Amino acid sequence: MNIFKKDKRKEIKNESPLEIKRSNISTTTSSNKSSVKLRVFRINAVQNPNDVPHFDEFHVPVKRWTTVLDALLDAKSYQDSSIGIRYSCRMASCGSCGMKINGIPRLACYTKISDLDTNTITCEPLPNFPYIRDLVTDFSQFFNHHRSVMPFIQNKKADIPDVNELSEYEQSPQDLDKFLQFSYCIKCGLCYSACPTVATDLKFPGPQALSQAYRYFADSRDSDKSNRLKVIDTSHGIWRCHFAGSCSNVCPKGVDPALGIQLLRSHLLGISNSEKKIAKLQDRSLNSYREEEEEKEKEKEEEKE
Amino acid sequence: MTSDSIKNNNRNKNNSKNTTQWFSNITLLRESQIMKIHYITGVGALFVVAIHIMMRLIMPFNMSLEFENVILNYKNVFYALLLESILILIAIHGFNGLRVILLEIRQTQIWERAVNILVIVAMIGIIAYGTRTIIIANGFSLG
């Protein structure tokens, strides 16, 4: 028996459970272990309307693949459990974790700390939304605007009441491609927070609602296009967009709301029936390459002749 | 922005719709039609102002500002019509642009109605006063 060997079990008992867990984590990190300073916006607007907003700082360990959401949850778990934050899917699918990170609206689960290339991460609630608490904001107005554009298929010709006759909305792949991009919207609110018009005009529906108006307008299954256009054709509607492009810049799903707004405008003006241009699929297989080469050779021979 | 301001905005939402309908009833135009006029007057004003500038380059700058030369411009009916078209196009485009800017600053019912009324009155007033000036100046040569 080695009397000089320390009994590790005794050492563990003296530590608190949280410290044990934290120390285990620190020993399992890679040799590239580092930490960043997390500045989190704090306010409790609901319980204390006179609360003064301020920033709390936390030092959190990070790895190469650590996201801002991971860092925030680390701070919430081990340093201050009162941090208010919304999150759900952790994979840029639900849109819950939208916040302003280092001055730009982003999804916290989709933003890696290594990509930010800084040791100080500032997390603030999304602009253009009222505060509830810390990083949690009120989305009521945002959803009201979305509801106002009637985001559902309206087709009076559908024989839905007659259950004996099953019917389907026939839609070709080409028809689907015209609006598919705009259907990827996850209602995260990043475009709404980045829009400069929303910052000044509370009645402006915002890029998300307008892009969804185009999504249903361009859907071949929808028959109520005129009513949709009337809803957005107002003095605080689609015409107050100044084409800043910030909405498309921050969209995490590639929806490009600015494109939808411009396409809708051309329809409203009646000067064109422009639709989203669909990229042509090119055959990149080896056979197609050989066929192209053969065609080029034939053209050269014809020119020589 | 607090939740209270959002609640107030929701209350004003219905009122704002009435204001928009009220303005549309007066102008008998939808916003898309107003903006189409805005774009057309903008392009048209660019064209006629370009002609106006080119015509001003016919003579030296000092001479073109002399009283007799200015009155001589109004004697030419086509030039008088050119000036009238500049007046109308720029008045419509400019005041509608001002209306758009002011509506974005504040969204209360009183503000929106006041802006709409003032813009229409100013537009009509400027066009009327400018047309009067052109007619008088054109008639001056007959005196």
Domain boundaries, chain B: 29-140
Residues B127-139: tens digit of each pLDDT = 999 999 998 888 7
Where do the domains of chain A lie? 13-136, 139-162+171-269
More confident residue, B13 or B118: B118
**Chain A with chain B: Cβ pairs closer than 8 A:** 65
What is the pLDDT confidence band of residue A126, given thresholds at 50, 70 and 90? very high
Tell whether the model's pLDDT for residue B124 goes beyond 50: yes
Residues from chain A that touch B16, judged by Cβ atoms under 8 A, are 203, 236
What is the pLDDT confidence band of residue A47, given thresholds at 50, 70 and 90? confident
Tell whether the model's pLDDT for residue B143 goes beyond 90: no
Residues from chain A that touch B2, judged by Cβ atoms under 8 A, are 45, 49, 130-131
Residue B84 one-letter amino acid: E
**Average pLDDT estimate for A72-76:** 96
**Average pLDDT estimate for A37-53:** 89
Q: What is the dihedral of CA B66, B69, B74, B77, to 10 degrees?
A: -160
| Burial classification of residue B106, based on how many CB atoms lie within 10 Å of its CB (0-12 exposed, 13-18 middle, 19 or more buried) | middle
CATH code given to domain A13-136: 3.10.20.30
Tell whether the model's pLDDT for residue B8 goes beyond 90: no
Q: Which of A46, A234, A270 sits opposite B20 (nearest CB)?
A: A234
CA separation for the pair A130, B10 (Å, rounded): 14
Lowest pLDDT segment from A270-274, B5-9, B65-69: B5-9
How far A234 CA sits from the closest chain B CA (Å)?
Answer: 5
Q: What is the pLDDT of residue A283?
A: 61
Residues from chain B that touch A129, judged by Cβ atoms under 8 A, are 1
Residue B46 Cα distances to A77, A249, B49, B51, angstroms: 63, 32, 5, 9
More confident residue, B15 or B6: B6
The answer to whether B131 and B91 have CB atoms below 8 angstroms apart is: no
- pTM: predicted TM-score of the whole model, two decimal places: 0.76
CA separation for the pair A208, A146 (Å, rounded): 7
Q: Mean pLDDT for chain A?
A: 84
Q: What is the pLDDT of residue A73?
A: 96
Would the CB atoms of B6 and A140 count as touching at under 8 Å? yes
For a pLDDT cut of 70, what percent of chain B falls above it?
A: 78
Tell whether the model's pLDDT for residue B120 goes beyond 50: yes
Would the CB atoms of B31 and A45 count as touching at under 8 Å? no
The closest of A133, A135, A121 to A58, measured between CA atoms, is: A121
Per residue in A129-151, is it b (16+ CB within 10 Å) or e — as a string?
bbbbbbbbbbbebbeebbeebbb
What is the pLDDT confidence band of residue B76, given thresholds at 50, 70 and 90? confident
Largest distance between two CA atoms of chain A: 99
The answer to whether A158 and A224 have CB atoms below 8 angstroms apart is: no
Q: What is the separation, in whole angstroms, between the first and last Cα of chain B?
A: 64
**Helix, coil or strand: residue A55:** strand
What is the pLDDT confidence band of residue B26, given thresholds at 50, 70 and 90? low
Residue A144 Cα distances to A133, A205, A238, A260, angstroms: 21, 9, 16, 20
CA separation for the pair B106, B121 (Å, rounded): 20
Lowest pLDDT segment from A2-6, A103-107, A139-143, A193-197: A2-6
Q: What is the pLDDT of residue A25?
A: 43
Q: What is the pLDDT of residue A164?
A: 62
* Phi, psi dihedrals of residue A97, rounded to the nearest 5°: -95, 25
Q: Which of A45, A203, A233 sits opposite B107 (nearest CB)?
A: A203
Residues A216-240: tens digit of each pLDDT = 999 988 887 888 888 899 989 999 9
Residues of B with CB under 8 A from a CB of A: 1-3, 5-6, 9-10, 13, 16-17, 20, 23, 30-32, 35-36, 39, 100, 103-105, 107, 112
Tell whether the model's pLDDT for residue A22 goes beyond 90: no
**Average pLDDT estimate for A185-208:** 95
| Burial classification of residue A298, based on how many CB atoms lie within 10 Å of its CB (0-12 exposed, 13-18 middle, 19 or more buried) | exposed
Tell whether the model's pLDDT for residue B14 goes beyond 60: no
DSSP codes of every residue in A154-194: --TT---S-TTS-------HHHHHTTGGGGG-----HHHHH
Helix (H) or strand (E) holding A137: strand A136-137
What is the pLDDT confidence band of residue A29, given thresholds at 50, 70 and 90? very low
**Cα A237 to the center of its chain, rounded Å:** 23
The closest of A215, A79, A140 to B4, measured between CA atoms, is: A140
**Average pLDDT estimate for A57-72:** 94
Q: Mean pLDDT for chain B?
A: 82
**Average pLDDT estimate for B62-75:** 83
Helix (H) or strand (E) holding A38: strand A34-42
Q: Which of A130, A197, A203 sits opposite B1 (nearest CB)?
A: A130
Give the number of other Cβ atoms within 10 Å of residue A216's Cβ.
21
Residues from chain B that touch A237, judged by Cβ atoms under 8 A, are 31
The helix/strand count (H/E) of chain A reads as 13, 7
Q: Report the CATH architecture of B29-140.
A: Up-down Bundle (1.20)
Residue A87 Cα distances to A39, A47, A102, A116, A281, angstroms: 18, 22, 19, 20, 37
Per residue in A48-68, is it b (16+ CB within 10 Å) or e — as a string?
eeeeeeeeeebebbbeeebbb
Q: Which of A49, A202, A269 sits opposite B107 (nearest CB)?
A: A202
How far A231 CA sits from the closest chain B CA (Å)?
Answer: 10
Residues from chain B that touch A138, judged by Cβ atoms under 8 A, are 3, 6
Tell whether the model's pLDDT for residue A24 goes beyond 60: no
**Average pLDDT estimate for A264-270:** 88
**Average pLDDT estimate for A250-266:** 94
Q: What is the pLDDT of residue B13?
A: 46
| Tokens found for residue A32 | 């590239």
For the A139-162+171-269 domain, the top CATH level (class) is mainly alpha
Q: Which of B5, B13, B103 sits opposite A235 (nearest CB)?
A: B103
| Burial classification of residue A209, based on how many CB atoms lie within 10 Å of its CB (0-12 exposed, 13-18 middle, 19 or more buried) | buried
Residues A173-192: tens digit of each pLDDT = 888 999 999 999 999 999 99
Tell whether the model's pLDDT for residue A17 goes beyond 50: no
CA separation for the pair A93, A109 (Å, rounded): 10
| Tokens found for residue A293 | 């080469």
